Amino acid sequence: MCGRFSIVDGTTVIEKRFGVKFTSSQFETYYSAKYNAAPSMYLPMVMLDKATNEKTLVAGKWGLMPPWMHNFRPQANARLDTVQERKMFKDAFTHRHCLVPADSFFEWHREKGIRQPYRIMLKDESMFAMAGIWEDSIALSEPPTFALLTTNANTMMAKIHDRMPVIIPRRYEDRWLHEVGQGVISNIPMQYPPEDMKMYPVTTRINKVSYQEPDAIVPVEPAPSLGI
């Protein structure tokens, strides 16, 4: 799964990276940079406008909740291998893809009785896009909701966890937005190459969702047992 990530760049950097402007009024209401983004927070997402089919950048709420479902817990993640089998995800996967900007994500590994968080990112530390699916909110005046797709861990991630978010290679980002349904999976690499990624341990303070300080993404003394 993927339960935390970071996106700390300013709005102009995000806009330049994805070649699209934020929906200004909505952005001012909902979005702020996050060192420790968690489900239920409002975060940037790139989607296709339903009216124009043009790419747009909005603040979406992390935790997919189809408006026609009631008394269900919002879902932060959807497994790539079962996304078409689950009623909650099937329609969004078939019709509504999005890109979720991030500069890293976090995962935990139990070491000597402590849940040690690790920060995982691209080797060049550039911004990337995680694959998501989205739904309109129950109140159409509210931002859309989204879930991140997860897949089997690559060999680097497997040192700490068996799952990882689907990171879309930059050259395939527009294809992910426009080509929906099962067919797109065979046309886009769904597991990011381990040789192009890196990770390091960070402070356990991020175990608390409320912790949003800059040192959340600063390395701490590494764990030799992992060989990283």
Per-residue pLDDT at 224: 47
Which residues, including other chains, have CB under 8 Å from residue 181's CB and lie 6 or more apart? 93, 94
Average pLDDT, the chain: 89
Q: Please, which pLDDT band fits residue 227 given cuts at 50, 70 and 90? A: low
User: 108-154, pLDDT tens digit by residue?
Assistant: 998 778 889 999 999 999 999 999 999 998 877 788 999 999 999 99
User: Where exactly are the structural domains of the chain?
Assistant: 4-226
Q: How far apart are CA 195 and CA 193, in angstroms?
A: 5
DSSP tag of 86:
S
Q: How confident is the model at residue 23 (pLDDT cuts 50, 70, 90)?
A: confident
CA distance 59 to 100: 10
What was the pLDDT predicted at 228?
Answer: 55
Q: Is the whole model's pTM more than 0.75, yes or no?
A: yes
- Is the torsion defined by CA of 88, 93, 95, 96 positive or negative? positive
Name which residue leads in pLDDT, 72 or 100: 100
Using one digit for the tens of pLDDT, what is the confidence trace for 27-66? Answer: 666 778 899 999 999 999 999 988 888 899 999 999 999 8
- Contact yes or no for 118/34 (Cβ under 8 A): no
Count other Cβ atoms within 10 Å, centred on residue 206: 23
d(CA 35, CA 212): 5
78 compared with 69, residue with greater pLDDT: 78
Question: What is the rounded (10 degree) CA torsion for 32, 56, 51, 178?
Answer: -130
The alpha carbon of 57 is separated from its chain's Cα centroid by a whole number of angstroms, namely 14
CATH number, domain 4-226, options 3.40.366.10, 3.30.10.20, 3.90.1680.10, 3.40.50.460: 3.90.1680.10
pLDDT at 129: 97
